[in-house]
Amino acid sequence: MNDHPAGSASDSITETGIERIEGRDLCGVDELSAADTCEILRAARGLSAHLDAGRTPVPVLHERVVLSMFNEASTRTRTSFEIAAKRLGAHVIGFVGDASTSLSKGETLPDTVRNLDAMGIDVIVVRDREDGLPGRMCAWVRARVVNAGDGRRDHPTQALLDALTLVDAFDIDLTKERPFSGLRIAIVGDIDNGRVGKSDTQLFQTLGADIRLAGLPSILSEATGERLGAPVFRDLDAAIEGVDAVVMLRIQRERLASDVRLPDPITYHRDWGLDTARMSRIPHAILMHPGPINRGVEVDDAVLEGPNSRVLRQVTLGIPVRMATLARACGVPLETLDAR
Ligand code: CP
């Protein structure tokens, strides 16, 4: 049920002649203004209230087809998108670009994706190791494209669910122009090799938050801080002083260059881990972590399972965020979702 209504003046035609409708794909957080973000978050908050109350959402994606293409490992994002799609009534088709597909016979990824698109898919949710693949895919397919994490670059729905976690924790008014104004957030760990630190920084800044980045020079360069327009701290205690929230990130060992030298896990935890002593100095702050977590490295068990942790709440809020994102991709007006 691939829907392609007549485009508006702000829509675009790619070099390959594929029409893109403004505001339907989600390849990166830089596509979202503060107003767009608040619209998605309001819809997700409304859906979250329905889900928390045990109510069944209206199946606004009935008969739609969502292709869940994960070419890189995932636990949370993949499952969350699939549950979100099913909760809205969509059919979900899983695709992993491995030896079970014709990619193993030499077919290129663009040809594979074009063939899948020709079957009448509405949305492709894609995770890949390659930076920028979701954006390039927009030129290959008529289906809407939603980025579920591309390489070191971007993870827009993680940033949206992290934003919703802050809204939920601090009861933030989403009708304001810059609703995160006055909020101080420290983002700690491997920002160079990960995507969540970058996406969170950009999206939280769009909403008006004051962001501090903290980490070792080998995983958080000054250049990254400059590019993101956020100060870089080389001392965790200084970075978290007076903050409302701390986002802890794991070291992306699978993406580290072979010549990067890091301390052993015990030393890293001593210098860069969030433990009870550090948490006790910011008793009103919340802990967030996108997962997967390396317990005892970036966060200790007591903090992870303590009263300030919102880590599992983040996972829960991922479902309504992805429901809103998929509805947006299919052209369902978000204000109608919010009102149901
Ligand atoms: N946060 C996140 O992207 O987790 P997964 O890699 O398990 O999807």
Closest residue CA from atom 3 of ligand 1:
77
Residue 92 phi/psi, 5-degree rounding, is: -115, 130
Question: CA–CA separation, 61 vs 54, rounded Å?
Answer: 19
User: Are the C-beta atoms of residues 172 and 245 closer than 8 Å to each other?
Assistant: no
Measure 127 CA to ligand 1 centroid, in angstroms. Answer: 10
- pLDDT at position 258, please? 80
Tokens of 280: 């006790």
- pLDDT at position 20, please? 83
Tokens of 166: 């802050």
Question: CA–CA separation, 61 vs 330, rounded Å?
Answer: 8
pTM over 0.85: yes
Measure 289 CA to ligand 1 centroid, in angstroms. Answer: 10
Pairing between strand 245-248 and 232-233? unpaired
Closest residue CA from atom 5 of ligand 1:
74
- Judge if the beta carbon of residue 149 lies within 6 A of ligand 1: yes
- pLDDT at position 9, please? 44
- Judge if the beta carbon of residue 79 lies within 6 A of ligand 1: no
Measure 248 CA to ligand 1 centroid, in angstroms. Answer: 14
- pLDDT at position 13, please? 75
In sequence order, the 6+-apart residues with CB closer than 8 A to the CB of 244 are 166, 170, 183, 184, 185, 284, 285, 286
Q: Please name which of 280, 319, 336 lies closest in space to residue 303, comparing C-alpha atoms.
A: 280
Q: Please name which of 178, 187, 169 lies closest in space to residue 225, comparing C-alpha atoms.
A: 187
| pLDDT tens-digit map of 106-131 | 899 999 999 999 999 999 999 999 99
- pLDDT at position 8, please? 47
User: Are the C-beta atoms of residues 141 and 132 closer than 8 Å to each other?
Assistant: no
Q: Please name which of 161, 139, 115 lies closest in space to residue 314, comparing C-alpha atoms.
A: 161
- Judge if the beta carbon of residue 291 lies within 6 A of ligand 1: yes
Measure 200 CA to ligand 1 centroid, in angstroms. Answer: 14
User: Are the C-beta atoms of residues 172 and 286 closer than 8 Å to each other?
Assistant: no
Residue 9 phi/psi, 5-degree rounding, is: -60, -25
User: Are the C-beta atoms of residues 147 and 196 closer than 8 Å to each other?
Assistant: no
Per-residue pLDDT of the chain (340 residues; tens, 9 = 90+): 555 444 444 577 776 677 788 889 999 999 999 999 999 999 999 999 999 998 888 999 999 999 999 999 999 999 999 999 999 999 999 998 777 888 888 899 999 999 999 999 999 999 999 999 999 999 999 999 999 999 999 999 999 999 999 999 999 999 999 999 999 999 999 999 999 999 999 999 999 999 999 999 999 999 999 999 999 999 999 999 999 999 999 998 888 888 888 899 999 999 999 999 999 999 999 999 999 999 999 999 999 999 999 999 999 999 999 999 999 999 999 877 754 4
Residue with tokens 């210098």: 271
| Bridge partner list, 214 | 188, 233
From 77, 200, 310, give the residue whose CB has the most ligand 1 atoms within 8 Å, as the site to mutate: 77
Measure 75 CA to ligand 1 centroid, in angstroms. Answer: 6
> What is the number of the ligand 1 atom nearest to the C-alpha of 80?
8
Report the greatest alpha carbon distance in the chain.
58
Measure 77 CA to ligand 1 centroid, in angstroms. Answer: 5
- Judge if the beta carbon of residue 314 lies within 6 A of ligand 1: no
